[in-house]
Copies of this chain bind each other. A is one copy, B any other.
């Protein structure tokens, strides 16, 4: 019989197990809606707020007409992907009984400014994103490779980026 540690990687795996059981009993519990409110602060500065947490400030570099007071939206998008992958490693490592000492994820994205600046029509966004994951763990390479495959196969932000999803922006 396999005994799963109650707490590994500071993850309380029983809570996740309870959610899984609740969803298995009632599939509707898996349908979630997330939200954010963004307030423009003048210039290219704004802030995004979710629930009761401190807002995430946003700005653009001086070269793009901003005042460079905060990371810009495309950097935040990369950060959201990296934070999502980090949750995935922590969750799936814990389920697999793998202890993680450190996880660091370096992300990069390529962006052609022509469309954003109105110089051409076409794709204004990232043409591609690369993430490199550095894991410190005593687990063997095979276990880490399996973990990696699991994480990339179940990442909410990763999947949102690799699939074309409907984004409906309406003017109130």
| A binding-site residues for B, Cβ under 8 Å | 9-13, 15-16, 19-20, 23-24, 27, 29-40, 42-44, 46-51, 53, 56, 58, 60, 62-66, 70-87, 89-92, 95, 100, 102-119, 121, 123-135, 144-145, 148, 150-172
Inter-subunit contact A48/B80 (CB<8 Å): yes
> If A37-B82, A104-B37 touch, does A32 touch B160 (CB 8 Å cutoff)?
no
Inter-subunit contact A71/B51 (CB<8 Å): yes
Least Cβ–Cβ distance between A71 and chain B, in angstroms: 4
Q: Which residue of B lies closest to A110 (CB)?
A: B33
Cα distance, A97 to B69, chains bound together (Å) = 25
- Please report whether the interface of chain A is mostly helix, strand, loop or mixed according to DSSP: mixed
Residues of B within 8 A of A42 (CB): 9-10, 90
Cα distance, A157 to B82, chains bound together (Å) = 16
Nearest 8 interchain pairs by C-beta: A48-B79, A38-B82, A125-B160, A125-B159, A73-B84, A58-B83, A40-B103, A46-B86
Least Cβ–Cβ distance between A1 and chain B, in angstroms: 21
Inter-subunit contact A40/B113 (CB<8 Å): no
> If A50-B71, A78-B34, A119-B23 touch, does A169 touch B154 (CB 8 Å cutoff)?
no
Ordered by A's residue number, 12 sampled pairs between the chains whose C-beta atoms are within 8 Å are A15-B64, A19-B64, A29-B113, A36-B78, A40-B89, A50-B76, A56-B71, A65-B91, A76-B79, A77-B160, A124-B158, A128-B168
Residues of B within 8 A of A95 (CB): 118
